[in-house]
Amino acid sequence: MAVRKKNKKNNSKKNNRGTLSARQIRFNKLTVLFSILLVMLAALTIRLVKIVRDNGEEYQRIVLSNQRYDSVIIPFRRGDIVDSKGTILATSEKVYNLIVDASVMTTYDDDRYLEPTLTALGACFPQIDINELRTFVLNNQTSQYRILAKRLSYGEISEFLNMQANNTYIRGVTFEEEYKRVYPMGTLCSTILGYTTGNTNSGGMYGLEEYYEDVLTGTDGREYGYQNEDATLERTIKPAVDGYTIHTTIDATIQMIVENKLNEFNETYKNNYRPGNGAENLGCIIMNINTGEILAMADFPGYNPGDYMNTDPLIGCNLYEAVTNAGGYIEYRKSTEIITQEMLDEMTTDQINVNLYNLWKNQCISYTYEPGSTAKPFTVAAALDCGAITGDEVYTCNGALQVSNYFIKCHTYDSGGDGVVTVQDSIAWSCNVALMKIAQSLGTENMCKYQRVFNLGLKTNIDLAGEARTDTLVYTPQTMGAVDLATNSFGQNFNATMIQMICGYSSLINGGYYYEPHLVSKITDSTGAVIENIEPRILKQTVSESVSDRIRQYCRATVMEEGGSRRSGRNARPYGYAIGGKTGTAQTIPRETGQIVISFMGFAPADDPQIAIYVVIDRPNFAKQDNVKYACLLCRDILQEVLPYMGIYMTEPLTDEEIRYLEEKQLENTLRYTQGSDEETTDPGGQDPYEEIEMQEITDSTGETANVYPRWMSFPIDPATGYRVGPDGKYYDADTGELATVTQTILDDSIPVNESIESENNQQGN
C-alpha cells in the first residue's frame, strides 16, 4: 500500500511540471507579441513625431481646409458724381439682399426655428410667399443660400432686425449688403452722366459713368471666417476700397434752365405741323469761353438714368431700324415714322433696344450735322488770318453765284440779293455769295488747313464716352473741288459735331486760344482728399488776337443794332444785354426733302465774353423749317435766366415792352441794380450791400417810379447753401439780405466763410 502511494505522488509531480511548461510557453508568446507591438508603437510614435516636425504645417492646412468656413464679399462704394457746387448728380446707396439658410431653420425636427422665422418674414415682407418658402425649406434642408428679396432699403429691413434681436428662435435669415446706383436729380444731365448696368456698382455705360469707369470703380473687400487649430472661430477682414468722386464743371442750376427751355420748346411745337416731338433733336451747350469748362450740355429727348429701360421717352421720336449695309455691317437708320405707344407694344426686345441705344447717346458729341451759316465766321477768320483778305473788301450779291456747273443761291435770291456787302455784313447778314467769294480768295489748300486748325474733322477728346469720328466727313485738298469750296464756306457739304463747333467758335472769340473741352475739374477720394486737379488746357492758337477781335466785332453786329435791320441774329439778344453770335440754317440730306437744321451760336457778354452758347434745332416741327428766328428765341430765353444767375448784369436800356415781358415772366431785371440816378452804370462789386443797403428809385419811360429793390436781391443764389452770393464773395440771407455766416468744412476744421474772407481782406489791406 505504501509503495502505490509513492508512485501516485511521483506521477502528480510529473504532471505539474508539464503544466507549468505550457503556461510558460504561453507567457513567453504573449511577451514576444507585446514586445513586437511595443516596438511597432514606438516606431509609429517616432514616425508621427517626424511627420509633425517636418510636415506639420502642411497637414494642418489640409485639415483646416476641410473644415467649414465662410467668406463674405464687402462691396466697394462707387464714387459720386457732383456738379461744380457739390450738388450730387449720381451716388450709390447701400441696399440689402434677404438671404435664407434652410439648414439653420431646420436644425431641429420640432420646427422651433422654422415657424417663428416664417411668421416674422411674413409680417415684415408681405411680398414673400410664405407657403412657397416653407415648402422650399422643408424640401431643401441642406440649402444654405437663397436670395428671397433684392435691394431692400434699411427702412424695409429694420423691423425684421428688431424682431430678430428680441427673439432667439428667429434663425437662418441674413442680409447681404450691396450698393445701388441712384440719380437724385432724375432726368437732369442724363446724357452727360450715362448709367450703370442694372444700376449696380460697376459697368458704366455712356457719358461720364463709362468714361471714368476706372476712376469711379473701387475694389471689393472680403471677410473670412474659419476655425483655427484650437477650433476657435476667427475672422479676417480685408476692407473694400471705395471709388473716387468726380467733380464736374456742370452747374446744375444752369443745366436745369437749359433743359427746362428745351422741354418748353418741345411742349410748344410737338404735333404742331406733323405728328411727333417739337423737333427731331434739340441740343444746347454752354461753355466757359476762357477755360473750356462745360457749364451745361443738354439734349432732347433725355431719359432717367435710374430707369434707363423706360420706353416712355421714345414716344414722339423718329423710329430707328437696324439695317445691314452693303459692307455687311449693321447700322441704325432713322425713318420718318413716329413712335407711338401702340408701336412700342408690338415691338420686339431687339427693336426697342435699337431705339433706346439712340436715346442714350449724347447728341451734342455723338451726332453730326452740316453746321450751316454758323461756319461763316470760321471761313472769314481763316481768310483774315492767312492774309487772303484784309477785311476792307466789298462784295456784290445779286442773289446767286455760278460755280462750275452749279448755280448756288443766297437766301436773298428771291428779293434780288444783298447788294453791296462788306466783310462784316457777310456775317451779320449771312450772305452766301460774299462767303463764296471770300472762299475763292482763301483757296482749297487754306480752307482744308484751317478746318483742321479749328479741329473740324478731329476729335476734341472731351472726357465723355461716345464722341463721334468726323475725319471722313470733311474734305482734303485732294478731294475738295470748286463747288465743295463754295458750299463749305457757308457750312454745307461737311459735317461736324456740336462740341467741335462750339470749341472752334470759342477760340475765334477769346483771342484765338483753343481749349480742350472738359467736364471734370477735380477727382477726390472717399475722405475728400484731392487725387487730381484737372486744369484748363490750351491746345493751340487758331487765329491771331487781332483776327479774333474782328470776328468778335462782326458777330456782335449780327445781333446788335450796329448790324443794321438785316442782321440775322437780332432775335437772340436777351433783354438788357449785349451779345454776339451767328445764325445757321443747313439743308439735310437728301436735299429734296426740304428738311432743315436751324441753329444759333453766340457769346456773352459782347464786350467781355465769359460764355459761349450753341443751340441746335434739328428739323423743327413747323411748316417753315428754315426760320432761324426760333433758334434765336430759344437762345434768348436761356440766356435771359442764365446771365443774371451768373452775376452778369444788364448794360443795355430796356424798352417798356421788354420790362413788361420780364415782369410777366417773373425774370430778373438786373438793370435796376447797375444803373444809378446820375451815372449810366455803376459797379455793384464796389459797394457793400450789408453795411448800407440802399433802395434805388428808378423811373421808367413814362416818368413813373418803378418798383424798387435792394441790390442784394440781384445776387445769385448758391444751391449748395441756399444763400445769395454777392460780388464780394460774401453770403447773404436769400429773404432778408442780412449777412450770413456759412460754415464749410475744410480738412476737418470748421471755418466761417464770411469771417475767413473778411480776415483775408484785412490781411491784404482792402
The DSSP-derived string for 116-158 is HHHHHHHHH-TTS-HHHHHHHHHH-TT---EEEEEEE-HHHHH
User: Hey, what's the cell of 11?
Assistant: 506521477
pLDDT, one tens digit per residue, over 551-591 is 999 999 999 988 788 899 999 999 999 999 999 999 888 88
In a domain, 495, yes or no: yes
Instruction: Look at strands 88-100 and 81-82 and give their pairing.
Output: antiparallel
Using pLDDT thresholds of 50, 70 and 90, give the confidence band for residue 723.
confident
Which domain-ending residue is among 645, 674, 692? 645
Q: Which of 610, 645, 680 corresponds to the end of one domain?
A: 645
Q: Is the pLDDT of residue 716 over 70?
A: no
Q: Is residue 332 part of a domain?
A: no
Total domain count, the chain: 3
The answer to whether residue 264 is domain-embedded is: no
- For residues 607 and 676, state if they share a domain: no
User: Does 14 reside within a domain?
Assistant: no
Residues 435 and 571 in one domain: yes
Q: Is the pLDDT of residue 685 over 50?
A: no
Do both 451 and 380 map to the same domain?
A: yes
Q: How would residue 36 be classed by pLDDT, with cut points 50, 70 and 90? A: confident
Contacts of 763 (CB under 8 A, 6+ apart): none
Same domain? For 626 and 480 the reply is: yes
Q: Check whether residue 580 and residue 479 sit in a common domain.
A: yes
Rounded Cα distance between 232 and 718, Å, is: 57
Phi and psi at residue 694, to the nearest 5°: -100, 145
The verdict on 639 and 662 lying in the same domain is no
End-to-end Cα, the chain, rounded Å: 154
The grid cell for 550 is 474782328
**Distance, CA of 4 to chain centre:** 128
* pTM > 0.85: no
Q: What would the mean pLDDT of 538-550 be, rounded to a whole number?
A: 98
9 part of a folded domain: no
The answer to the question of residue 291 being in a domain is no
What is the pLDDT at residue 11? 52
Q: Range with the lowest mean pLDDT among 177-181, 262-266, 363-367, 759-763?
A: 759-763
Within this chain, do residues 627 and 696 fall inside the same structural domain, yes or no?
Answer: no
Q: Are residues 585 and 442 in the same domain?
A: yes
- Does 39 map to a domain? no
What confidence tens digit (pLDDT) does each residue in 52-86 have?
676 666 655 555 455 555 678 889 999 999 999 99
Tens of pLDDT, residue by residue over 213-234, are 999 999 999 888 765 556 565 7
CA distance 178 to 163: 23
Q: What is the pLDDT of residues 425-464, one digit of tens each?
A: 999 999 999 999 999 999 999 999 999 999 999 999 999 9
Q: Which domain holds residue 661?
A: 656-763
Give the separation between CA 149 and CA 100, rounded to whole angstroms: 10
Instruction: Output the nine-digit C-alpha cell for 658.
Output: 421788354
Cell of 266: 418741345
Q: Is there a single domain that holds both residue 633 and residue 666?
A: no
Mean pLDDT score across all residues of the chain: 85
Within a domain: 358? no
258-295 pLDDT, tens per residue? 999 999 999 999 999 999 999 999 999 999 999 999 99
The dihedral through the CA atoms of 409, 415, 416, 421 has a sign that is: negative
pLDDT digits (tens, 9 = 90+) for 376-403: 999 999 999 999 999 999 999 999 999 9
User: Do 103 and 201 belong to one domain?
Assistant: yes
Residue 719 CB: number of other CB atoms within 10 A?
14
Residue 95: give its domain's CATH number: 3.90.1310.10
Same domain? For 619 and 757 the reply is no
- Boundary residue ending a domain (645, 680, 699): 645
Give the separation between CA 501 and CA 189, rounded to whole angstroms.
21
Q: Judge if 447 and 398 occupy the same domain.
A: yes
Amino acid at site 70: D
CA 444 to CA 471: how far, in whole Å? 17
